[in-house]
Chain A
């Protein structure tokens, strides 16, 4: 369950899950929806796969990602989305970054 909480704590990963709710998508299609590098997206997808929230299949040259969430996990995703839930360990880094931005 820890892996699920970790996976749901990131807004990018939550957005990936929301996109996959519509239909299964290839890694390329998903990459087109974000302003992040492919290796970063690949790392996010790997966290989601580790948590068992998505499943991937190789079709020809592309890898297709499909949602694999229980109702409880779906409810947790809705909860995390509503309350902007993030991991505690992310907070100091983000707040210090915000502090730096304010100083400059």
Chain B
């Protein structure tokens, strides 16, 4: 039988405050753009820096949201992939902020998009390697209802998926142009929400 003796969710308050600040910053940027308070280039740079900050924040908190062992053998529960992914996201986010501050806009957008997609590919590779070490296949992820830390991991997963979508759209915009990026902007949130609804439905059915 497994019983958690440490449930204090220390990561919740900073996460909630960060999300509130992020929302306020997005609203401010949209307003500045619509009312033409700032130049288009400044808004583009500020938006890019904001994406970098979100990646730094998400990467920083990722290894902190450990799922409970729930009866698993401790030897098979290595959190190395989480830690590596966290470091990759934080360093990539810091590099993005530096690029948006220094590089010309026409170079910054493609460079940041490539960096973002590469960071995600590296994080996924780390997870696959960890899965292979744990017995050839990835474990079934715990249900989002099983623990507060697990629920927060799902929320963080949504934020990271949103970031991946943003970087992919910027890259698509650079390669194929505005039309493709617009279609992706419609389909990515749909895919994201469908995935979330599917996970919750399956988890609810499993816990019954």
A interface with B by C-beta (< 8 Å): 21-26, 49, 52, 54-60, 63-64, 66-74
Contact = CB atoms under 8 A, between A and B. Distances in A.
Nearest to A65: B74
B2 A71 contact: no
Nearest to A70: B64
Nearest to A64: B74
B141 interface: no
Contact of B6 (A26, A49, A59): A49
A74 B2 contact: no
A64 B75 CA distance: 11
- Which of A49, A55, A72 has the most CB atoms of chain B within a 10 A radius of its CB? A55
Interface of B: 1-6, 8, 10-11, 59-64, 66, 68-69, 71, 74-75, 77-80, 83, 86-87, 90
Contacts, number: 77
Contacts of A73: 64
23 contacts: A21-B83, A23-B74, A24-B69, A52-B8, A52-B10, A52-B64, A55-B6, A57-B2, A59-B69, A59-B74, A60-B1, A66-B77, A67-B63, A68-B63, A68-B64, A68-B66, A70-B11, A70-B61, A70-B63, A70-B86, A71-B59, A71-B83, A71-B87
A23 B60 contact: no
A26 B77 CA distance: 13
Interface centre among A49, A60, A71 (most CB of B within 10 A): A71
Contacts of B79: 66-67
B107 to A, nearest CB: 27
A77 B60 CA distance: 14
Contacts of B80: 21
A67 B6 CA distance: 12
Contacts of B66: 55, 66-68
A50 B105 CA distance: 45
B69 A23 contact: no
